[in-house]
Chain A
């Protein structure tokens, strides 16, 4: 057991974890932030993606005890307060979600994709950048549309509107 102080969704939290406690388990079981989901056990589905000190990570790959003191973590619950984030709005408007299970990981990933693309974003770039997230419901088409719509709302130019393979 070890103790560590983290900043989760802007709040300082002192937590006690076992050596084997995965970040996703801490988030879900100790913080009761159940928006972060577990869809696999091989770090491939992306349902557990959170923001960790500015990077997106699959929280099932992180051993909590190894995190530096004061690490900043943002989960889907911390993406917006009150009004929805423009990316959340975009997912709803473009029907980029169905059962909703993959959605939290996708929204966190999508915001990161846009933030890393200040010079513009295309559909094919979005498809490639979504390689770490699985969705079994939507066929991805409306997710791609959502990310581009969210990008526009976040002030990033969308290029190459018509997709080519």
Chain B
């Protein structure tokens, strides 16, 4: 719901513990007799391991055990496959890697885990790990995805019949696209890059493993967005135990952004090591270690060509992309491969498409999801090309978009890539964004910039997000005293679920919000859940919660009927009361609930306890939702120095029915900041040997407060038709739209100076070079 003067945002229920230093992050957990794990990471991007000498480490102070890949093999530990492959989403079969949690034969990227040291303190473990000598026989290295597809490129996986390509995902209609290009009045071709970047949750990854011999059971505390997924992966693939014998707990998690949507080798290593040493084992990732070993996002090169009429109407798009998987097909790498193609049509009727995405192995650390997961790449292409077309035809940025936008009366509309949009008022969003951003006042601001010797540029871009993947489960239960507990399958790590879900239940059941407890993130407390990523929780968690409420009310009705001496079908539930239709007999839900916990009496026949569970499903299989929006950005560039300021940024977002406007806008602000980092600052840089040269905050630039403009955000409510709440996701929108909004504005500023193209990140040095090159060419 929207904040109003009568009902302002009052803070979140979870805020107090974070504000007082009482957050419960995994690094804060100290178990009795706990010891620490340090790691030996590969220093070569591609090499055979000839030997691992641990003899000195074993004698170091505080060292309890040293374990290598040979010990993994001796203990029969299994390897880790991808969470799922493209074939599960209707794509072709591909080459799936199996990853060892400690590598003993051949390293394929820097940062591979080779050995671990368990010691009394974290310092002891790290110091001893430094003494372990690994003898390598280096192999040739390939870091670029497109180069890795060449016939003579070093090959990563010997038994992959398709060279270094894991899978090539085709999409669209080749013949129709060719026909459209044959008739095209205008064609434009570009090569676009979305470099690798770091998700960079501010909390580094951390795990604590504890094997309990008495129960023959493991407990893992890990900073994860999806504890049940981590449990399945480790139990089935690595430890090969029943899932019930592993408990995974993810308490407070200090940011996820996709990095923590899947397991990491350390999660399995601390459990295995704990069984070895008979004590709890804690691993605290240092920032440098995490920069080297975290999964990264993006990493795509794409060749694109568009066809259009002289009036500015798109008729076809063809594109071929090379996505840099890194050394393994790891974690949830599948969704970005699809979304990077599926969302290319964006808000437009684009005619025909012919798209291919090659997922390519290289000697870089593995790629997986990062906020947006393929959607920013698709949007970057669609909106870069739309501006190229506008520039070519001399058309207004807003006008050309409205010519191509899908009309609301075309809904539901299936795009050329097979996405069925249920709702959206795209052209209206463009008009509204122009209003919010003072589009018409631009000329005066451009003149002010000119007077200062600077140039101003602007952009207006649109985006579509696809939200609501997989399925979900939620539970609502009454406690014996009439208070309520929500048991969530989703996992909030900043999104404010404890507040929003509790407010929803409070509203539905007319229970005071302070009487609601919210539980998540523990596989012993939550039967099953998928966690939180891909802007999925509002729709899938929300819908499952609604169904849990419905189930709970249905069961409560049975008791209410007994207590009111009425027929069940004559009861209505409203405002927290069951009322007998056409009578004045009524009873409160909380009183009904308490009766389910009375140990004796006539109501006993209904059994013990009042709970409701609900499930929901999304893409693929069931319909997702399509949040969308328009961003307007203005930048100012000093043409002498390349210095760049993002001066204004307005975002208008259709989020469907609003559950909490302040929290929605918070998500938008954060996504935009990450999008700005991608556009202007962030890049994981590897040299030709595959060595990471941006391995700390000394060389990897994150946005700070003074880099950010004051964002003008407005929410629009176009009700979603694919779920009973009418909601659309919000977690990724900012990160999807912002990169191209900013790059397009920069290009708009410098195009008159002769700069026709620039790649992300648009650093000052890069912009200065482009300006000098353009100057020299003129």
* Chain A residues in the interface with B (C-beta under 8 A): 20, 28, 32-42, 44-45, 47, 75-77, 79-80, 84, 88-89, 91-93, 95, 97-104, 107, 123-124, 126-128, 130-131, 133-144, 163, 165
Contacts and interface: CB of A to CB of B under 8 A. Distances in A.
Contacts of A91: 15, 19
Given A76-B21, A95-B663, A101-B23, A130 B204 contact: no
A79 B710 CA distance: 29
Contact of A98 (B9, B27, B666, B708): B666
B305 interface: no
B705 A136 contact: no
A137 to B, nearest CB: 5
B385 interface: no
A35 B21 contact: yes
Contact of B708 (A33, A40, A127): A127
Given A101-B255, A141-B711, 11 more contacts: A37-B202, A41-B288, A42-B696, A91-B15, A99-B201, A130-B705, A134-B702, A138-B673, A140-B708, A141-B669, A165-B647
A104 B697 CA distance: 20
Interface string B13-54: 011111111110101101000000000000000000000000
A47 B287 CA distance: 13
7 contacts: A37-B25, A40-B287, A41-B286, A123-B710, A127-B706, A139-B669, A140-B705
Contacts, number: 191
A135 B704 CA distance: 8
B322 interface: no
B21 A134 contact: no
Given A42-B287, A136-B202, A97 B697 contact: no
Contact of B23 (A33, A35, A89, A140): A35
Nearest to A91: B19
Contact of A34 (B27, B496, B697): B27
A104 B15 CA distance: 12
A117 to B, nearest CB: 16
A163 B20 CA distance: 29
Contact of A35 (B20, B670, B696, B702): B20
Interface in B275-297: 286-288
B233 to A, nearest CB: 23
B287 A39 contact: yes
Nearest to A35: B21
A148 to B, nearest CB: 12
A88 B287 contact: no
A137 B21 contact: no
A139 B734 contact: yes
Given A37-B203, A107-B19, A140 B673 contact: yes
Q: Which residue, A33, A47, A95, A142, has most C-beta atoms of chain B within 10 A? A: A95
B204 A39 contact: yes
A100 B708 contact: no
Interface string B698-736: 100011111011110000000000000000000000100
Contacts of B22: 35, 77
A140 to B, nearest CB: 4
B672 interface: yes
Contacts of A33: 21
Contacts of A38: 27, 204
A138 B202 CA distance: 12
Q: Which residue, B18, B645, B705, has most C-beta atoms of chain A within 10 A? A: B705
Contacts of A34: 21, 23, 25, 27-28
B666 A95 contact: yes
A58 B745 CA distance: 37
A40 B674 CA distance: 18
B62 interface: no
Contacts of A124: 706
A-B CB proximity, top 4 nearest: A35-B21, A100-B18, A101-B254, A92-B11
A154 B688 CA distance: 54
B7 to A, nearest CB: 14
B204 to A, nearest CB: 7
Q: Which residue, A45, A102, A127, A137, has most C-beta atoms of chain B within 10 A? A: A137
Contact of A136 (B18, B253, B255): B255
Interface in B231-289: 252-257, 286-288
A98 B494 contact: yes
A89 to B, nearest CB: 8
B18 A128 contact: no
Nearest to A124: B706
A74 to B, nearest CB: 11
Contact of A84 (B19, B668, B672, B706): B19
A103 B18 contact: yes
Given A40-B697, A143-B705, A95 B20 contact: no
B12 interface: yes
Interface in B429-473: none
Contacts of B9: 93, 95
Contacts of A165: 636, 645, 647, 709
Given A130-B706, A134-B704, A165-B709, A88 B19 contact: yes
B640 interface: no
B710 A141 contact: yes
A109 to B, nearest CB: 11
A84 B686 CA distance: 46
A41 to B, nearest CB: 5
A92 B19 contact: yes
Interface in B649-700: 662-663, 665-666, 668-674, 696-698
Interface in B483-507: 493-496
Nearest to B11: A92
B15 A97 contact: yes
Nearest to B253: A99
A126 B673 CA distance: 17
A80 B255 contact: no
B548 to A, nearest CB: 26
Contacts of B254: 37, 39, 99-101
B670 A100 contact: no
Contact of B706 (A28, A42, A131, A134): A131
Contacts of A32: 30
A35 B23 CA distance: 7
A130 B435 CA distance: 31
Contacts of A103: 18-19, 23
Interface in B595-649: 636, 645, 647
B702 A136 contact: yes
A136 B10 contact: no
A40 B698 CA distance: 10
B200 interface: yes
A8 to B, nearest CB: 13
Contacts of B496: 98
Contacts of A75: 21
Contacts of B696: 40-42
Nearest to A77: B21
B705 A99 contact: no
A42 to B, nearest CB: 5
A30 to B, nearest CB: 11
Contacts of B257: 136
Nearest to B662: A95
B502 to A, nearest CB: 15
